[in-house]
Structure 1
Amino acid sequence: MNAARRGLILTGAIALVILPLITGIVLVARRHTASQTSFAALLAKTPLSGILTGDLCLIIAGIFGTLLCLRLRRNTSVDADAVTASNWLTDLLPGVLSLSALVLAGRATGQAGDMAQFSHNALSVASGLSLLLAFIVLFQERALAIRVHSSTPEARGLMALLRSVVLSLALAGFLTGCAAGGMILPMWLWKIPCWLLICAACELLVRCVIRWFLPTGQAPSAIGNLLFDAPHLLHPAHLALLLKTQFGVDFERSWALKFVRQAFWPVTIAMILLVWSFSGVVKIDQNQRGVYEFLGAPRAVLSPGLHLIVPRPFGYVRLTEFGTIRSTVIADTSDITKIVADTSTAEGEAPDSANRLWENASDAASYLVARSNDGQAGFEALTINLRILYRVRLSDQGAMDALYNVSSPNELVRSLARHDLVTFFASETLDGVMATRRDKMAEIISMNLQKDLDRNHSGIEVVALLIDSVQPPPAAAKSWRAVQAAEIKARMSIAEEYTRAAGTTALARRDAYTAQSSSLAEAATIRNAARADTARMTGDDKAWQAGGHAFVFEYYLAALKTSLRDAAVTVVDSHISRSLLDLRETQSGQLPPDDRTAPK
């Protein structure tokens, strides 16, 4: 008994050490995402951390709860049923730990991390840790079964609880080991150990709560697991007998239950077949394509939408990208793909990522370029900031090539781009590289990179190759800077002269257009006046020929009338009876007419 107690204490101590260690790794990994390792990311993004910590909580609750009960049983001489409920600590400790395990397992069921994104070493370590814990717990359970008397209810319950923990840890280790071996199983399989853990934690919590309300003699043991200790208690016949003896409800005479019992297996088989047939319904998103495999051989490329195929495992669809453009940076460091959050504000200082002028940034790569100075050959280190945009080809063959021939498209593009950059700079000189336009350089490198990708049947298409800057060697940076400044000034001067010349040309065109328009308008006016005079003269000539002297006299009178229209005229006529002229200024300049009808 002492050896078994020492083994329990050792197992509990191991669990107490591993539990805060795993919890700390998960918390640090979730807080500092930029510096986490692959193993920490595996624990933080997959259900494995919830399964491990939940199982460790159950181990600690079962072991230390059992040790407390055994200590009370050794130090007291009262009945065993009374000893089981005599100490509140034996109920509180398993209750709190089982509640923690229930919360952790519940959160683990909602996590669905992709196992393919983690490294082989991280998956191997996680699988080994799970299987090692399962072996330690299994060894302790077997030792407890041999050395402890089977009539002890706490020991029997602890052995059942340890069996459930062993099964959960073994399933987690098996799934992680399959992922480490390259066989990625469906994520719903991870819910099996999670639900085993949830069932064990719920039962342990219910046991602790029941012990607070039932009498001392009827209270069950705080530690146990019906699924592995007494599975016959969960049988429908036993449950029906319990309902009959405790509540007087007899289900044996119910025709509905008899029908359910007869139709259970046919309906179950039909439901299983129906569910299995639903595995042949595949939904493909808009940004994906699917390669349909029948018995492991590719048959067709499926477009986005809903498709019906042969159910698994005979038919399977492997998803690949459809039109998604990815970006990769060619740099010397290996952590350039990690994005650092920009916390700068509009009024604050610029972030460090914006300070990239004439310095080696984290996304820059250095290459050796030949130089010739005074007839002496040598090499200089030249830094380039280069970004590649690529995607999987839109053709069906491109999708199959990218799926079956390339395991890591990003690494393939970066490795081939580095090779092409080395080849390009090895065939050029420093002066030639600095004199070449960046768009021309990008076109040459992009063409060579695409040829290499097509030669390897990668199914990848280079969309664009962007060269942000080509930085000269540090020794020549000042000179190249002065050269670029002079070039910029020259371009500015040329642009200013072009602007001035364009302004002068525009003014000259405006003046010429104005003069031309005025001349055309004046000529049109003179031409129209001449046409009017011609038409008038032609009309007068025709009238003179028709009317003779009458037209001349009429023309004379019309001209005289026009001339005398605004003049003051005094008419003197010998037929006027009065010969006295009134020279006063009057309206007509003559006397008023003689009114012979007026009275004398």
Structure 2
Amino acid sequence: MFNLNDPRWGKDDGTNGQQSNNNQDPNRRPGSGGPPDLDELWRDFNRKLNGLFGKKRGSGNGGSTPPQRPDLYPSAKGMGVGVIILVVIGVLGWLSSGFFIVQEGQQAAVTRFGKLAYITDAGFHWRLPYPFEADEIVNVSQVRSVEVGRGGEVKATGLPESAMLTEDENIVDVRFAVQYRIDNVVDYLYNNRSPDDAVSQAAETAVREVVGNKTLDYVLYEGREQVASDVQVLTQKILDRYKTGIIITTVTLQNVQPPEQVQAAFDDAIKAGQDRERLKNEAQAYANNVIPRAQGTASRLIQDAEAYKAQVVAQAQGDTSRFDQILQQYEKAPQVTRERMYLQTMQDILSSVSKVMVDSRNNNNLLYMPLDKLLQQSAGKAPTSATAAPAAPTTVPTLPAASVGTAPATADSSASAPDGTAPSSSRTSRDTLRERNFQ
């Protein structure tokens, strides 16, 4: 029989030699240059499949194998074994689809027929393949961020979404960012449809409530950090109420400013506040410079006063002690004590006098003139004597010629002149002067 794919279709059959050769070699591909025969390919496949599964041809006499017509289809046994192998390979591939890897910082929720079965941590795991079980991996260590106030304008009011009303009925534009992470995988996956959108909505609700309870100046200037802290606490409370499994880590106020219509006036107010702070800093620097110096001066004056006090007290105590000693000596010998005190006083007074007056009537006495000391005193006082008052003339005591132990003559700073009116007795006059001084 001829096949439509036979290259000899429609050619002359007179070539008996070629036909006989083809009958002798049924496995020979007809036509060397034509397309392959599909039947020939199918027969080759069947022969290889039968040889693979151990199908042997029957042996005739003498062990020779007579030529047989190749099978057009594989045997039932070979097909069964092939199907089993394919099924085994498919089952192994299906079971291997249950292996999954959870990276560090991630958790996986495994569901069985759509219901949560268990939670796994990082590592290599296996579950029942689909459709029995499925897994969903969530990154719990990643810090996620959402920005609030970046939307467009609200058609009803014509103001941006970031515009908020303060307690003193002013409008302020607040834009901020919220950073959060997943704390509970089960709550995050199964308690809310869109937990990320819930974070944005809860943060916007919280900031409107916080700003609505504060004044404009508080939100713009001194209370920005406190506002961010209050927004974080209130947002966390809202998310916990809905059991979203999310923890708010940080709330950052990115932009807080008044509306554009009054921006220029607020800029002037901000500049004035900056000038105020600058002047305060300069005043504080001046105070830091002046106060320590004033404190040092006050401390020095206090120390000087204490030293002067100690000096005066010590001097007074010394004078008191000396007076007590003199008093004791005076009580023992009043006359001798008065004499000694008088002589000491006159010595202190006359030691600084540069002028000497001599009584020429007493020619019997020997007069001692310390000219060398007088010249030294005059030379030392010469620079300052021009403006000083002239010293009062005095008389020096004279030593009597007969007796060396006699008391010196009367001397007075008022300069008694030799006018012939001498006292009758020098001792009486000296005693009278001493008593007058002690009185």
TM-score by length of 2: 0.46
Per chain length, whose mean CA-contact separation is higher, i.e. which structure has more relative contact order (CA < 8 Å, sep 6+)? 1
The structure with the larger Rg is 2
- Structure with the largest fraction of helix: 1
Normalized against structure 1, the TM-score is what? 0.35
